[in-house]
Structure 1
Amino acid sequence: MMRHVTLYSRPGCHLCDRVRAVMEDVLRRTPFTLDVVDIDSDPALKARYDHEVPVVAIDGRIAFGYAMDAREFERRVRGDSV
């Protein structure tokens, strides 16, 4: 089953840009769907994640925050664990 990944982000967030670059690299090898959500466009998300982005959810469950290890991310989107 293909995993669904959500990246909670905001414009100008250099950590968010790094995490997205890792995701795009992994996507070349391991298929998954990706939604990038700008938390600033939703007051509830901004209140929840304002000082925590980037936040990564896999299949609706928070998996990573701030930093993300590329190997661990790839392992999880392959379905080895969530």
Structure 2
Amino acid sequence: MVNEPQTQPGARVVLFTRTGCHLCDAAREVVARVCESAGQQWREVDIDGDAGLADRYGEYVPVVEVDGVQQGFWHVDGDRLARRLAAPGPAQGARP
């Protein structure tokens, strides 16, 4: 894997997953590919390690957020994610 998602705390993209989720496996591949292409960092959060996140996302995983804004769940649209990453992030003055 090119990105090490767990080591990217300041990443624009966060992928919420859970162990044993086949949709999460597919989403991880899409996020890794799109973020690598866009030169963006991403991180992955296993919701099963946090009761609050497990309650919040439950069976909706995988969930992807960009700049703290949920972009979708269950299926990550690579084209949509790429368009969102092409927009300026909060560090460049845009609102999340």
- Structure 2 equivalent of residue 67 of structure 1: 75
TM-score between both structures, scaled by the size of structure 1: 0.87
Instruction: Give aligned-pair identity as a percent.
Output: 37
State the alpha-carbon separation in 2 of the partners of residues 29 and 49 from structure 1: 27
More strand by share: 1
Bigger relative contact order (CA 8 A; separation at least 6): 1
Q: Is the 8 A contact 2:47 2:53 kept in 1?
A: yes
State the alpha-carbon separation in 1 of the partners of residues 36 and 52 from structure 2: 32
Size of the aligned set, in residue pairs, is: 80
Secondary structure, counterpart of 2:38 in structure 1: coil
Deviations 1:25-61 (A, max 9, x none): 1123101121100000000000111111000010011
Structure 1 stretches of 4+ with a deviation exceeding 2 A read none
- Structure 1 equivalent of residue 25 of structure 2: 17
More helix by share: 2
Residues 31-50 of structure 1: matches in 2 within 5 Å? 31-50=39-58
Question: Radius of gyration: which is bigger?
Answer: 2
Q: Where in structure 2 are there 5+ consecutive unaligned residues?
A: 1-10, 89-95
